[in-house]
């Protein structure tokens, strides 16, 4: 486990020129969109990131990981899922620069000089979420079908076209 907290924001262009290294953790609750998909926002996101320049482009390479609590889709109880991602980004300042970026880098368009680190990590970790979370061994909740005589059975609903049938009867009588 990393001992130091990660900064809230970073200046990727400046850190890449200085070949900066970021190693540490931040609370999972700071990654609001990821935490919204979880049963609990408790826990830490750990990251080991290196900023550098590749072929003249500011870049970030590293990894991030977290253990999150999701809802098991079989038993509907919490299940712990380990997320781990390798990150390789190239920072560009506009869409016009995308074509020039080396293919080994995934583009990240900077809208400002300083960006929230939590958002960058969050985007990558959300992509690592499983489509369906479930325990390896659990019993699914049995499906309970309602019997026709149950209190939850559907009541007789009036036919919405009954009014039209009455009007049709009036039209037929006036034609005679």
Q: Judge whether residue 150 has pLDDT over 60.
A: no
Segment 51-89, tens digit of pLDDT:
999 999 999 999 999 999 999 998 889 999 999 999 999
Instruction: Place 171 in a pLDDT band, splitting at 50, 70 and 90.
Output: low
Amino acid 99: pLDDT: 84
Q: Judge whether residue 156 has pLDDT over 80.
A: no
Q: Which residue shows structure tokens 């200046």?
A: 11
Rounded to an integer, the average pLDDT of 143-164 is 68
Can you say how many angstroms the Cα of residue 170 is from the centroid of all Cα atoms in its chain? Answer: 59
Instruction: Place 28 in a pLDDT band, splitting at 50, 70 and 90.
Output: very high
Q: Which residues pair with 65 in a beta bridge?
A: 46, 84
Rounded to an integer, the average pLDDT of 17-24 is 95
Q: Judge whether residue 139 has pLDDT over 90.
A: no
Amino acid 1: pLDDT: 57
Average pLDDT of every residue of the chain = 87
Amino acid 147: pLDDT: 63
pTM of the model: 0.73
Q: Which residues pair with 53 in a beta bridge?
A: 58
Amino acid 173: pLDDT: 64
């Amino acid at each position: 486990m990393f001992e130091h907290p990660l900064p809230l924001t970073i200046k990727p262009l400046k850190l890449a020129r200085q070949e900066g290294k970021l190693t540490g953790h931040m609370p999972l609750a700071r990654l609001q969109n990821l935490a919204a998909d979880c049963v609990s926002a408790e826990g830490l996101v750990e990251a080991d990131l290196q900023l550098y320049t590749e072929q003249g482009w500011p870049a970030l390479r590293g990894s991030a990981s977290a253990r999150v609590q999701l809802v098991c889709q079989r038993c509907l109880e919490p299940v712990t899922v380990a997320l781990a991602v390798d990150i390789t980004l190239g920072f560009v300042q506009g869409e016009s620069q995308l074509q020039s970026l080396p293919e080994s880098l995934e583009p990240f368009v900077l809208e400002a000089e300083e960006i929230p680190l939590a958002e960058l990590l969050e985007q990558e970790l959300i992509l690592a979420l499983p489509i369906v979370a479930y325990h390896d061994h659990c019993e699914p909740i049995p499906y309970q079908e309602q019997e026709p005589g149950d209190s939850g059975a559907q009541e007789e609903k009036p036919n919405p076209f009954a009014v039209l049938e009455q009007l049709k009867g009036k039209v037929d009588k006036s034609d005679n």
